[in-house]
Amino acid sequence: MGRPEPSDLNTDPPAPRLDPPAPRLDPPAPRLDPVPGHDPTTDNDGVGNCNEDEGEGGGGYVASLDLGTTTMRCLVYNRRAEVVGRAQEKINLLYLETGWVEMEPEEVWHNFVNVIRAALSNAKLSAKDIRCLGVSTQRASFITWNKNTDKPLHNFITWKDVRSDTLVKQWNRSFTMKLIRFGSSILYKILRSKRFLAGSVLKLMNIQVNMRLKWVLENNTEAARLAREGLLMFGTLDTWIIHKLSKGKIHATDYSNASGTALYDPFIEDWNGPFLRVFGIPRSIFPELRPSVGNWGSCSAELFGAEIPITAVVSDQGASLFGSFGFERGDVKITLGTGAFMDVNTGSQPHASVKGIYPVHGWKDSQGLVHMAEASSNDNGTVIEWGQTMGLYEHASETSDLAMSATGDNSVYFIPAFQGIQAPLNDARASAGILGLSATTGRPQLVRAMLESLAFRVHQMYSAMRAEADYDLLNISKHKPLRVDGGVAQNDFLLQTIATLIGRPVERPRSTDVTALGTAFLAGMGAGVWESRDELLPLYTVDRVFEPDMDHQPQLLRQMKEWERALERFTKWHGEGSSSSTSNANANTKGSQTTASHPTNQPVIQSTNNSPTQPVNQPTSHPTNHPVIQPVIQPTNQSSNQPTTHPPNQPTNHSPNQPVNQPTNQSSNQQLIQPTTHPTNHPVNHPVIQPTTQPLTQPPSKSPSVVLRLRT
C-alpha cells in the first residue's frame, strides 16, 4: 500500500524538532435539544407521513448516521428504504496551527446527539419507534485519551491534517524504509505473496494515521507517559463515539475503519505488529477488532427517551459500496464528494498494487469479510468549491449548464491538484493550475475545463485499476455498470463525460446518499429488519443512466492526452521541502475556526508563447514580452493580501448590486485579468484586460496562452 520514492539518505530519521503548543479548545458545552416526542402536528418538511406505512409500528424504522468531512447527517428509513426523516449538522474544522486540521471532540459528540434527535423529530417519531442505528464515519481521523479518566489528550486529528509532513518525508527516505522495501521485494520473488508485493513499494503518506500518531507520541508528553504506563487509548471516530455511548465499556473498531489507518495489515486481517514496533507505537493502545455488523451496544434512554440498539459500524467508503448494491466481486462504485473514490469489490482477497491503489476492507458481516481495491483523488468537490469562492458561479448546481454552454475548442486545461495528484501518478508536489487561457476565455470555458479535469482523473484511476486487476476480476467487472454517488454526482455534464471517456454506462441512483443507505442496510440486517442481501435487491432505484457517446469518445480521449501533457507541467512543482498539502495548509489563518481554507495570496498567471527557451512552468524571471498577469478574482470586500473569514464551503453572500470581484493595486508594468460577473462595457464571459503601460520589446507571434498556478 504505497509507492516507490528515490532517496539518497542512508540513516534513520532523527527525532523531529517539533515542539508546538498542545492547544486545548474548551468551548461552552452546546445545549442539547430536548428529547423529541411523537408529535403528529409538527410540520414534516415535505417528508412523507411515515406513520401511514403498514407494519412500521413497534420499532420498524432504521436510523443511519453518516459522519463525513464537512457534514454529519442522520437519515431515518422505513422497510422500503424510503427516507422518512432527516437532519444535518455542519462540521466545524479547526485550523489552530499551520497544517493542522482538527475537530473538537465534545462538539462532535453534541452534534451526534442533536442530529439524531432532529432526524427523529423530522420523521415525527420517537426513539421507541427505531429498531436500530447504524454509524458510518470518515476514516483516518483519530484521537487519544486517558484510560482512567476518559479525558481526550487533544482534538481529533483529521485525515486532512499535515502536521507530520516532516516525519513522513524523513521516514520515506530512511534506511529503515529502504530495507523494508528491499526485503519485501526479495520475499515477493521467493514466495509470490501479494503482501510482500505491497511492501516492496510501501510509502508513507500524510493521509495515513501512522505518522500523525507517531507525531502525537513524540510531541505530547502526557500521551507518551500514558503509553509507557499502558493507560493510553487510541481510536478513530467510530471507536470514540461507541466508547462514549457505552460509557467506557467498549473500546473497539470495525475492520473497515481499521484498514484505513495504515497501521493494520489487510493481508493478515490484524494490526500490523512489525510496523508498530518499527514506529515505536505500543500495541496496547489499539481497540478490539469487530465485524461491522453485530452488537455494538446501544444509545441510552437518557439521550433519546428510549434505548436504540447499535447494530452496525462501518467506514464511509465501505458503506457507500454496500449502498450502491456492490455486493459481488467485480462491482465498482465511484464516490464523487469532497474527494473522488473508486472502489472495486475484490471479494475475499486483498488487492496488491504498485500504482497507489491500496487494499482496504468494505465490511464484515455474517457472510464474511469483503475486500476492496481503492483509488482516490483528494480534490474533487474542493474544485467545485474553489470555483464558487472565486465567483465563477453562485451555486454548484449551475456548473453543469455553464459547462454545456461553453463554445469554441476545448483549449483550456485545469489541473485539480490543490493537494497533489494521487493514483496513478502519486505526486504530492504537484500544483493546481490552469493552462491555455486566452483573451476570449470566459466562465463557461473555465467551468468546462474544471469538470473535464475531474472526469480525466476518474479515467486515470479506472485505467490504473484495469491495468492491475487480474483477468478473472477484469472479465467480471467489464459487464457491470459503474455506479456513482456523492453530492458531485448530481452534475450531468460530469457523469456524461465520465461515461463517454470510459465507454461504459454510468448509473446514478435516485438517492445519492448511498453511504447513509448502505449503513442503514447493514444495521437493518443486523437487527433483522431485512433478512438477506437478496431481500434488498428490489429496493435499488435508478435516477438516470448515462450512456457513452462513442462518436464523441475519440475527440474526448485526444483532449485528455493534451490535458495529460498540461499536467506534466504542474508535476514536481513544489520543492523537496514542501508539498501541495503543506503549501496549501500555510494559507490557513492560524487559530481560525472555519470549515476550509482560502488563498491568502493571489495566484500568478504566466503568459507564454511556448518559447523553447522560456519554460512555461517557471514562476519568475519573466522577459518583458512575457507579462505577469495576476487575476483579481476575490470574494466581496477582500483585498488581495488578506485571508477570507467566511467558511469557504458556503457560497459568499454578495449583494446583487455589489460587484463580486474587486481590483487590487498592481504595479504599472503588470497586466490585470479580471473576470467580471457584473454588468460592464465588456462581454460578461470575457476577462477584462488592462494593458501594461510598459510596451513589450516585441509583439507575440500569436495570441499567448496563459498558465495559472493555484493554491487553496
In a domain, 289, yes or no: no
Q: What is the pLDDT of residues 680-694, one digit of tens each?
A: 333 434 343 333 334
Establish if 625 belongs to a structural domain.
yes
Q: Tell me, yes or no, whether 630 lies in a domain.
A: yes
Residue 76 within any structural domain of the chain:
no
Q: Can you give the pTM of this predicted structure?
A: 0.74
Mean pLDDT for 420-434 is 83
* Residue 129 neighbours by CB distance under 10 Å: 23
Report the alpha-carbon distance of residue 632 to residue 681 in Å, rounded: 18
Largest Cα–Cα separation, the chain: 83
- Of the pLDDT bands very low, low, confident and very high (cuts 50, 70, 90), residue 512 is confident
Which residue did the predictor score with more confidence, 90 or 38?
90
Query: Which grid cell is 412?
Result: 483550456
SS3 144: strand
Binning pLDDT at 50, 70 and 90, where does residue 556 land?
very high
* Domain extent for 640: 601-712
Tell me what pLDDT residue 685 has: 41
- Identify whether 244 is part of a domain: no
Q: Are 7 and 173 in contact (CB under 8 A)?
A: yes
Asked if residue 188 belongs to a domain, the reply is no
Residue 217 confidence (pLDDT): 98
pLDDT of 246 > 70? The answer is yes
User: Does residue 92 sit within a domain?
Assistant: no
Is 673 within a domain? yes
Q: Where are the beta strands (DSSP E) in 268-353?
A: 270-271, 288-290, 298-299, 308-315, 332-336, 340-347
Q: Work out the mean pLDDT of the chain and round it to a whole number.
A: 78
How many distinct structural domains can be found in the chain?
Answer: 1
Q: Rounded distance, CA 202 to CA 190, Å?
A: 18
| DSSP per position, 186-228 | HHHHHH--HHHHHHHT----TTSHHHHHHHHHHH-HHHHHHHH
pLDDT of residue 635: 40
Q: What is the identity of the amino acid at 654?
A: H
